[in-house]
Amino acid sequence: MTMNKPKIVVLGAGYAGLMTTKKLTQNLLPEEAEIVLVNKHNYHYETTWLHEVAAGTINPNQARYMLSDVVNPNRVRLIYDTVVEVKKDDQTVVLENSDITYDYLVIALGFETNTFGIKGMAENAFSIVDIDSSRLIRDHIEYQFAKYNNEEEKDEDSLTILVGGAGFTGIEFVGELAEKVPELCKKYDIDRSKVRIINVEAMPSILPMFDKDLVEYAKKSLEDRGVEFRLGAKIQECKEDCFVVGEDNEEIKAGTIVWTGGVTGSSVLSKSGFEITKGKVTVNGDLRAPGEENIFVLGDCAWVMNEKEGRPFPPTAQAAMQHASVCANNIKALMHNQPFENFVFDDKGTVASLGVTDGIGTVFSGTKLRGKPAATMKKVVDNRSLLLMGGTRTLLKKGKYRPF
Amino acid sequence: MTMNKPKIVVLGAGYAGLMTTKKLTQNLLPEEAEIVLVNKHNYHYETTWLHEVAAGTINPNQARYMLSDVVNPNRVRLIYDTVVEVKKDDQTVVLENSDITYDYLVIALGFETNTFGIKGMAENAFSIVDIDSSRLIRDHIEYQFAKYNNEEEKDEDSLTILVGGAGFTGIEFVGELAEKVPELCKKYDIDRSKVRIINVEAMPSILPMFDKDLVEYAKKSLEDRGVEFRLGAKIQECKEDCFVVGEDNEEIKAGTIVWTGGVTGSSVLSKSGFEITKGKVTVNGDLRAPGEENIFVLGDCAWVMNEKEGRPFPPTAQAAMQHASVCANNIKALMHNQPFENFVFDDKGTVASLGVTDGIGTVFSGTKLRGKPAATMKKVVDNRSLLLMGGTRTLLKKGKYRPF
């Protein structure tokens, strides 16, 4: 390693960051640049699988793999640490345990929970953010079930699982819960009828990204499996054991409360002086932060405008992985004074699972799927990201081949 | 079924009660008697395996089987209910949901936890009493581990597991914990060095039923695997997060506190007006309660005197199953005006496990075992009770064939 090699620092090993790192090792020769990947954990996790970890339908280890298994150590320096702040003027990233300078910086630090200031939500609700927080939900639910038969005075509310938010995560999560609850009832000798799964949403409908017929299908399918919906119900407050909803401050009690109703980009962005719109940086078409020569912002930290439609592309894992290609290409272009490419989202479709054997989706520019075909497609999508990011061995070890 | 058939009611489907029921169906013809088995749960569980359920080293379902699978429904009426009281004068048992009369009664209701009045122990410590209470401990421990990495301010005491009592259950439990903790650390990304397993005992030594050399072996084996002993340490009080021990009221903090230091016979005994010594009924040699013509008391509800040595036989599962034979024979004798037999304990030995691959034991009147042979013998003992009580199919389904 020569000292004059430019240093590319990638922050975050999620879909965007890990894929950028891999693409950089393909785009650049070893002597062209030093590549550093900074991540809080020594593993990558599949963010889009976390609702399954939280429900306990998959093992947490299936949803993650070691970075050292998928990143070439001869090409990439791995630093396991938490990012505190980016000091743009010093071209330095402050980590909890050290500082690191950069020539090119990729910020792909993912999302944090956004409670929109709902009173008590941050304190009293769980969120599905990472492996730690997701398996905590699983263990919390199991603990409620384990306690139930030991109580002299049984509190059936303790078995209720309350999920705030009917977006992708909230709906996929209740879908998994509908699978898991009968299993837990059997395991803990509890009557299924005593357990409630309640989804609360301020909007009048679930899954706003899908067409009405698919949404109706999804809602009915979940209701048939015991999920209760409280739509058009604004959460006024989250207390330790309930949501307070609606004009009349109705209390919906529960032993487990999970908030899936909002996310925002990493708080490192605002701490580091980037201009923020709705929690994220609105990047240029080349994915650089406005006014920054050498800083790219990707994945859930970025809004990338769809100039044709005048609104941002949806912030999905699929998009994040596509950001990575554009970013890695543009870093190479920047190093070689070549022209940049602009990001255009290549939408391969969207599929939501509703448990193991059910789902809805829109794929191949408009084809609608529901039921088993959607569930199958969802697993294809999940396995695809494993293959793209983790390679064949990871796919074989962690892939979803559940029989159904 | 004629109405004049005498009715034998067995209370409790533990080792003594279930075995008595089985022996009665063998000893008596269908037309000789009606047999009723009353049990709180619809399953029998292996009490001597509960420390494994509590540590999480076996699945709770391995330690239980359905009564309907092992009791002939044409011979035995099964009632799943909780016994409130025996009204001897009315020859009636009061259950939570009904009353039932008897001609012959077998009380085999097992043990309850005895906290010897230690302040706060009943409120703040878990106990290993049945399936519900044991898997709650497992889930509580996992929950502490799951929470740890989610805390901003990490509290390492929350990972400490504190076990009061160094008798059979306490020592076998810490032995299983020594197996389980490294597995949990891996599962929850926690450093093994942060987790403490502490056994606290007022007596100067552990496992008083074994010879000194075996005890020394056991203690060293457990210490080598990270168990800490605080012997000669009297527990003054159990608070929500600690034991207060010794003269100087030292506080030993923990996230999980389990009391294994004492048991007593079912509280139904005293509620029903039997004379109680140290929590149990001291029965006659024929296993009947003193002064009672038709009431037998077995298992952990009974003290059976060893007349030769002037002290009671040890209250073990082995003894409980032997009680059953004598009781079933004596009920038959009573019905046919034949002479009674007296109970004499046929001691086949005692083996304590210290995890999966280690243990100590004394078998075949004096042969000492330690290490793997003791662990193997322990599994032989465990499988034997499955076979005796549950039959071949249960043995095949639930037997312990762990590779080691």
Quick check: is B381 in a domain?
Answer: no
A147 touches chain B (CB under 8 A): yes
Provide the ipTM. 0.82
Provide the pLDDT for residue A21: 98
d(CA B338, CA B137): 48
How do residues B23-80 score in pLDDT, each as one tens digit?
Answer: 999 999 999 999 999 999 999 999 999 999 999 999 999 999 999 999 998 999 999 9
Position A51, amino acid: H
Radius of gyration of chain B, Cα coordinates, nearest whole angstrom: 22
**Three-state SS at B245:** strand
The set of catalytic residues of B is 172
Q: Looking at the structure, tell me whether residues A273 and A204 fall in a common domain.
A: no
In a 3-state reduction of DSSP, which class is residue B158? helix
> Which residues of B fall within a CB distance of 8 Å from A146?
132, 135-136, 138-140
- Contact of A203 with chain B, judged by CB distance below 8 Å, is answered with no
The predicted pLDDT at position B388 comes to 86
**A252 and A129, same domain (yes or no):** yes
Helices (H), B157-273: 168-187, 212-224, 268-271
Are B132 and A143 inside 8 Å of each other by CB? Answer: no
B136 lies within 8 A of chain A by CB: yes
Residues B181 and B228 in one domain: yes
The residue out of B244, B261, B278 marking a domain boundary is B261
On whether residue B68 sits in a domain, the answer given is: no
- Does the CB of B139 have a partner CB in chain A at under 8 Å? yes
Q: Please give the Cα distance from A96 to A82 (Å, whole number).
A: 6
Residue B149 sits in the same domain as residue B243: yes
Whether A371 is in a domain gets the answer: no
pLDDT (0 to 100) of residue B112: 96
Identify the sign of the CA torsion B394, B396, B398, B399. Answer: positive
Residues of B in Cβ contact (< 8 Å) with A132:
146, 149-150, 189
Partner-chain contact B142 A139, CB within 8 Å: yes
* Nearest residue, CB atoms, A143 vs list B60, B140, B150: B140
Question: Which chain B residue lies closest to A186 (C-alpha atoms)?
Answer: B61
- How far is the C-alpha of A236 from the C-alpha of A232, rounded, in Å? 12
User: Do residues A151 and A160 touch, judged by C-beta distance below 8 A?
Assistant: no
Angle B228-B47-B135 (CA atoms, 0-180°, nearest 5)? 65
Residues in chain B with CB shorter than 8 Å from the CB of A61 are 187
Same domain, A164 and A271: no
Interface check A193 vs B, CB under 8 A? no
Q: Which residue of B has its CA nearest to A142?
A: B139
On whether the CB atoms of residues B353 and B175 are closer than 8 A, the answer is yes
With CB atoms and an 8 Å threshold, state whether A136 touches B147: yes
Q: Are B132 and A187 in contact (CB < 8 Å)?
A: no
- Of A61, A133, A140, Cβ closest to residue B143: A140
Question: Other C-beta atoms within 10 Å of A72: how many?
Answer: 12
Q: Is the CB of A150 less than 8 angstroms away from the CB of B136?
A: yes
**Strand, coil or helix: B241:** coil
The set of residues, in sequence order, having a beta carbon less than 8 Å from that of A175 and lying 6+ positions away, is: A51, A222, A227, A352, A353, A354, A355, A358, A359
Nearest to B197 by CA among B151, B235, B236, B252: B252
Q: Is residue B95 part of a domain?
A: yes
Distance from CA of B61 to the nearest CA of A (A): 8
Q: Is residue B107 part of a domain?
A: yes
**Cα dihedral A292, A294, A296, A301 sign:** negative
Nearest residue in chain A measured CA to CA from B60? A187
B61, B132, B139 ranked by CB distance to A143: nearest: B139
B17 and chain A in contact, CB less than 8 A? no
Which chain A residues are Cβ-neighbours of B146 within 8 angstroms?
132, 135-136, 138-140
Residues A171 and A294 placed together within one structural domain of the fold? no
Q: What angle do helix axes A168-187 and A212-224 make, rounded to 10 degrees? A: 10
**Domain check: are B276 and B310 in the same one?**
yes
Q: Is B257 in the same domain as B152?
A: yes
Q: Catalytic residue positions of A?
A: 172
B288 and B342 within one domain = yes
- Partnered with residue A263 across adjacent β-strands are A113
Cβ contact A142–B140 (<8 Å): no
Residues B173 and B208 in one domain: yes
Predicted local distance difference test score (pLDDT) of residue B3: 60
Domain co-membership, B205 together with B269: no
| Residue at B288 is within a domain | yes
Contacts of A140 in chain B (CB under 8 A): 143, 146
Cα angle, residue B128 at apex, residues A153 and B130 outer, rounded to 5°: 65
Query: Using the beta-carbon criterion (under 8 Å), do A146 and B139 form an inter-chain contact?
Result: yes
- What CATH number does the domain containing B340 carry? 3.50.50.100
- Is any Cβ of chain B less than 8 angstroms from the Cβ of A140? yes
Of A138, A139, A150, the CB nearest to B132: A150
- The confidence score (pLDDT) of residue B396 equals 83
Q: What is the pLDDT of residue B163?
A: 98
Out of A347, A378, A396, a domain closes at A347
Last residue of a domain, one of A235, A259, A283: A259
Question: For A164, how many CA atoms within 13 A lie in the half-sphere containing its CB?
Answer: 34
Chain A residues in contact with B189 (beta carbon < 8 A): 41, 132
| Measured distance CA(B150)–CA(A134) in Å, rounded | 10
B325 and B227 in a common domain = no
Q: Is A69 left (phi over 0), alpha (psi -120 to 50) or beta?
A: alpha
Chain A nearest C-alpha distance from B259 (Å): 16
What are the mean pLDDT values of chain A's consecutive 10-residue runs (404 residues total)? 81 97 96 97 96 96 94 94 97 97 98 96 97 98 97 94 97 97 96 97 94 96 97 97 96 98 96 96 97 97 94 93 97 96 92 91 87 87 86 85 55
CATH at residue A183: 3.50.50.60
Domain tally, chain B: 2
According to DSSP, the β-strands at B43-45 and B64-66 are: antiparallel
- Residue A319 is assigned to a structural domain of this protein: yes
With CA atoms as reference, the chain A residue closest to B126 would be: A150
Q: Which amino acid is at B148?
A: Y
B142 touches chain A (CB under 8 A): yes
Instruction: Search chain B and give the residue with CA nearest A148.
Output: B132
Pairwise CA distance, residues A36 & A80, whole Å: 11
Does the beta carbon of A135 lie under 8 angstroms from any beta carbon of chain B? yes
Q: Name the token pair of A151.
A: 């109580």
Q: Which amino acid is at A12?
A: G
In this complex, the residue of B135, B147, B189 whose CB is nearest that of residue A146 is B135
pLDDT at residue number B40? 97
Q: Are A244 and A125 in contact (CB under 8 A)?
A: no
Write out chain A residues lying below 8 Å of B139, CB-based: 139, 142-143, 146-147
In which residue ranges of chain B is pLDDT below 70?
1-3, 402-404
A80 touches chain B (CB under 8 A): no
Grouping H, G, I as helix, E, B as strand and the rest as coil, residue B16 is helix
Q: Which residues contact A259 (CB under 8 A, 6 or more apart)?
A: A113, A115, A121, A125, A126, A127, A164, A165, A238
The pair of structure tokens assigned to A373 is 């075909």
Domain that holds residue B219: 121-261
**Sheet of B161-164, strand order:** B126-127, B256-259, B161-164, B197-201, B227-231
Q: Which of B135, B138, B146 sits opposite A135 (nearest CB)?
A: B146
Q: B190: nearest CA in chain A?
A: A132
Query: What does the H/E/C string look like for chain A?
Result: CCCCCCEEEEECCCHHHHHHHHHHHHHCCCCCCEEEEEECCCEEECHHHHHHHHHCCCCHHHHEEEHHHHCCCCCEEEEECCEEEEEHHHCEEEECCCEEECCEEEECCCEEECCCCCECHHHHCEECCCHHHHHHHHHHHHHHHHHHCCCCCCCHHHHCEEEECCCHHHHHHHHHHHHHHHHHHHHCCCCHHHCCEEEECCCCCCCCCCCHHHHHHHHHHHHHCCEEEECCCCEEEEECCEEEECCCCEEEECCEEEECCCEEECCHHHHCCCCCECCEEEECCCCECCCCCCEEECHHHEEEEECCCCEECCCCHHHHHHHHHHHHHHHHHHHCCCCCCCCCCCCCEEEEECCCCCEEEEECCCEEEECHHHHHHHHHHHHHHHHHHHHHHHHHHHCCCCCC
B139–A150 CB contact, under 8 Å: no
Q: Give the three-class secondary structure for B395.
A: helix
Which residues sit opposite B297 in a β-bridge? B107
What part of B 106-125 touches A (C-beta under 8 Å)? none
Judged by a CB distance cut-off of 8 A, whether residue A255 touches chain B is: no
Chain A nearest-CA distance from B188, in A, is 8
Which of A40, A127, A136 is the mutation pick for testing B, counting most B CBs within 10 A? A136
Of residues A139, A150, A188, nearest to B143 (C-beta): A139
Domain-located, residue B137:
yes
